[in-house]
Amino acid sequence: MSSAYAQDNSGQSDTSFADSVGEADANDVPDASSSGNVIVVTANKRQSTTVLKAPSAIQAISGADLLNQGAVSFEDVAGQVPGLAIQNLGPGDRKYVIRGVSSTGASTTGVYYDEAVISGSNANDGGGFQSDIRLYDLERIEVLRGPQGTLYGAGSMSGTIRFITNKPDLDEFSGYVKGEISTTRKGGENYNINGALNLPIIEDKMALRLVGWGVDDSGFVDQVRVGAGSLDPLGRVSNVNNDNVLGGRAILRVKPVDQLTIDLSYTRQKQKARGSSRYTPAGITAYPAPGAPIIQGCDLCNTDVNLAPREDNLQIYSATANYSTSFGTFTATTNQFNRKFLYSIDTTAILVQFGLPYPSVTYEYVDRKVNSSELRFASDFDFPVNFVVGGFRQSEASKLEVNVLATNNIGTPRGGFSTLTSQDALQFPDTGTTFLGRTDRRKNLQYAAFGEMAWDVVPGLELTAGIRYFHETLNGVQQITHPFFGFPDGQTSEPPVVNEEQTNDKFTYKFNAGYTFSDDLLVYATASSGFRSGGLNPPSPFAPIPLSFGPDNLWNYEAGIKGKLFGGGLEYQADVFYIDWKDIQVQQATSQALPYLGNAGNARIKGFEFEFVARPTDALTVNFAGSIQDAYLKEGAAPDQLAINPTLGVSGDKLPDVPPFQFAVGLNYTAPLSATSDWTATFAADVNYQGKRNAYFQNSPFNIELEAYTLVDLRASMTNDLWTVSVFARNLTDKRAQLSAINSAQDPYAFITARPRTFGLSVLRNF
């Protein structure tokens, strides 16, 4: 587990380091060393500071810790962050939940890759559609808990996650290469290679940093009845949820003059999986499928009759310029996030529910393009008042194609999508290829102006106030490209359905007071607001549904304390919070049980978060972090709403995906092999616990209570200046951790679990 506050190897404390960087400009941070595990953060976009000196609930995980732990995905370290949970619905489909703010609809957590907005969107299907960019050659990860609406906008309703990449060093040639091989119980061999190369081009003026990675993880879920109606209907595909990732990043840093730094970067990643990660547990009967046997679930077996591959391709282009002056720093950034995502699911159960006994698979092609630009100024005046002020623009265009296709006796589509009635799979069940097709095009344009002002009232006391004005315009056009049973005679298409233009305007606010009693004690209090914009519903071929839904909003109140005791031998953070959340976006339904998004209900969330880092000896570090949360509906569905949709929550229901208690413990013992050796040995153990929680609202007939689980990882390594050799065990007890669950009349009972017990070896070479 990472320690965001540990002393560096020279014994320098975070106090002296913070003093050395506290007055640095934000654009200088990438050049600064983090002095071991003392991590510099720039969450307020105004100045750099350390975690213990920031008057807010923030946790930072250093790039060195990510590398040492062998962390590949954010999910590998998320358990270390108090108040954070991840809903996992398979490759490329994550949902981040901070402080219990979880519901259907767009992401409630803002996600940034350097300055680029990459927050997920699930305006249609899927769980959260957060990208799973791999964590190679990062400087740090910052997790900001609580609304960050004034600086980071509408998508940061519950918090913000920032992935900060390592920037080029203008002076030194350097790099590393790391290889890893492992084996997974009930799976197979896994391979991972990654590396980075820093190339100075013009001394002190220009440098290029190249990063690359390749991951080939075996699957561990077997699909046991592939191919309804085949000669061998109990077909089996082993390790169907494999994960293949190939990616890279290039960053060019140019510093024509001392005051100006320009970073140009490009990141690309491609991820593929052959099938679904969900499995039907023992004791659950698989859904009935035409031509397929009725079977019982079992350990790590998927009972779908069709294969459901996924593919995620993303690109991020970024350009950021920082110009520093004696009175502050100007920052200009523009970023383009392009993502093409194939999400597929076996939809046989859905058709069977509507009395259509045919095997089918649905392919959803999502093409999303997000451009975000920001211009801001952060002052550095030599008097008590300083501020950051700026403007923001974001445009998004997305296209969704939904194709419901007939499948063959090997669980794959019989043919490609067709608009022709002659290829309708209901009229021509033996030869037709297509059941349904539709398209959904949406455009979103946002403008915002924001500012935060900090006032050092007296020595030790700082007051901060922030405000953001947000304006958004939404447009949408949907079209049925192939209706069930095809088009009527003489008709070859349907007219598009144009959504009425929707606009949202909102102010968000932040008020913060922090008092530094000494270098070892800081207390703070914050009141902040957040909101999530509304959206558009796609039309239904079965019944009319509302074409749009409105925003939801919340206020967060918190108080915290952080500091050091026993001469720095114990470092701590703790906070309490209260959230008032109104007009929650939830999934509703028509009288025909057709789902759509709407606004219903108010919630209350109360919690306590804590982090402790103890160093009983120079060699031993102990981390303990966790949270206690009580998240429930204060005002749930009315009886008439429940009569239409019994899955809605009622007053008093616990919110889904929120564990009442979670914690992580990390032990790290590092010492030289001998007094004269240049080799250092490390022994580390990480334990992550998640309490029981509900997959859906407690009142829902489809709710599944997810069991509590504990995951244990062990690692041992030997390191010198050039080499690091590690052996590791992940999920040592081979726990079937119930990370997420799926259950509805149209989407049968299933779990997604952590990778089974995995043993491995890694070798790293610096140069």
Spatial CA neighbour of 438 closest among 537, 369, 368, 356: 537
- Give tens-digit pLDDT for 681-738: 999 999 999 999 998 888 888 899 999 999 999 999 999 999 999 999 999 999 999 9
What does the DSSP assignment read for 292-336?
Answer: S---B--TTEE--SS---EEEEEEEEEEEEEEEETTEEEEEEEEE
Q: What is the mean pLDDT of residues 275-291?
A: 89
Q: In whole angstroms, give the CA distance from residue 181 to residue 368.
A: 34
Q: What is the mean pLDDT of residues 627-642?
A: 89
Q: In whole angstroms, give the CA distance from residue 357 to residue 361.
A: 13
Residue 498 pLDDT > 70? yes
CATH number at residue 229: 2.40.170.20
Q: In whole angstroms, give the CA distance from residue 65 to residue 37.
A: 8
- Give tens-digit pLDDT for 323-368: 999 999 999 999 999 999 998 999 998 888 888 889 999 999 999 9
Residue 213 exposure: Cα atoms within 13 Å on the Cβ side:
25
**Residue pointed to by tokens 């590949």:** 72
Tell me how far CA of residue 559 lies from CA of 191, 513, 533, in angstroms.
45, 9, 27
Q: Beta strands 109-113 and 159-165: pairing type?
A: parallel
Q: In whole angstroms, give the CA distance from residue 194 to residue 215.
A: 8
> What are residue 98's DSSP bridge partners?
84
Residue 13: per-residue pLDDT: 32
Q: In whole angstroms, give the CA distance from residue 472 to residue 394.
A: 9
How far does CA 745 lie from the centroid of its chain? 27
67 part of a folded domain: yes
Residue 128 pLDDT > 80? no
Instruction: Report the share of the chain in percent with pLDDT over 70.
Output: 91
Residue 30: per-residue pLDDT: 34
Q: In whole angstroms, give the CA distance from residue 653 to residue 751.
A: 22
Residue 23: per-residue pLDDT: 34
Residue 745 pLDDT > 80? no
8 part of a folded domain: no
Residue 363: per-residue pLDDT: 94
Helix (H) or strand (E) holding 473: strand 461-482
Residue 89 pLDDT > 80? no
Sign of CA dihedral 647, 305, 479, 311: positive
Helix (H) or strand (E) holding 525: strand 521-532
Residue 19 pLDDT > 60? no
3 part of a folded domain: no
Spatial CA neighbour of 58 closest among 74, 39, 75: 39
Cβ-contact 742, 704 below 8 angstroms: no
- Give tens-digit pLDDT for 159-202: 999 999 999 999 999 999 999 999 999 999 999 999 999 999 99
Q: In whole angstroms, give the CA distance from residue 743 to residue 281.
A: 12
548 part of a folded domain: no
Q: In whole angstroms, give the CA distance from residue 636 to residue 613.
A: 40
Q: In whole angstroms, give the CA distance from residue 401 to residue 405.
A: 12
What the block records as the tokens of 148 is: 């960050």
686 part of a folded domain: yes
Residue 28: per-residue pLDDT: 37
> What are residue 112's DSSP bridge partners?
117, 162
4 part of a folded domain: no
Residue 109 pLDDT > 70? yes
Residue 540: per-residue pLDDT: 67
| Number of structural domains found in the chain | 1
Q: In whole angstroms, give the CA distance from residue 100 to residue 102.
A: 6
Residue 155 pLDDT > 90? no
Cβ-contact 215, 245 below 8 angstroms: yes
Q: Structural domain of residue 514, as residue ranges? A: 14-165+172-542+553-766
What the block records as the tokens of 178 is: 């790391």
Residue 154: per-residue pLDDT: 72
Q: In whole angstroms, give the CA distance from residue 589 to residue 597.
A: 8
Q: Does residue 692 come out as left (phi exceeding 0), alpha (psi in the -120 to 50 range) or beta? A: beta
Q: In whole angstroms, give the CA distance from residue 334 to residue 320.
A: 7
Instruction: Report the share of the chain in percent with pLDDT over 90.
Output: 64
- Give tens-digit pLDDT for 382-417: 999 999 999 999 999 999 999 999 998 889 999 999
Residue 17 pLDDT > 80? no
List, as own/partner pairs, every contact residues 536-541 make where C-beta atoms lie below 8 angstroms and the sequence separation is at least 24, other chains included.
Answer: 536/123, 536/442, 536/474, 536/476, 536/499, 536/502, 537/596, 537/597, 538/124, 538/438, 538/440, 538/478, 539/478, 539/480, 539/497, 540/590, 540/594, 540/596, 541/436, 541/438, 541/480, 541/483, 541/484
DSSP type of residue 501? P
9 part of a folded domain: no
Q: What is the mean pLDDT of residues 258-284?
A: 95
- From the number of C-beta atoms within 10 Å of its C-beta (0-12, 13-18, 19+), residue 76 rates as middle
Go through the chain and tell me how many residues it has. Answer: 767
pTM: 0.91
Name the residue with higher pLDDT: 40 or 264.
Answer: 264
Mean pLDDT is lowest, of 298-307, 371-380, 581-590, 633-642, for 581-590
List, as own/partner pairs, every contact residues 261-265 make where C-beta atoms lie below 8 angstroms and the sequence separation is at least 24, other chains included.
Answer: 261/27, 261/28, 261/321, 261/322, 262/319, 262/320, 262/321, 263/30, 263/114, 263/167, 263/318, 263/319, 263/320, 263/321, 264/318, 264/319, 265/114, 265/165, 265/316, 265/317, 265/318, 265/319
92 part of a folded domain: yes
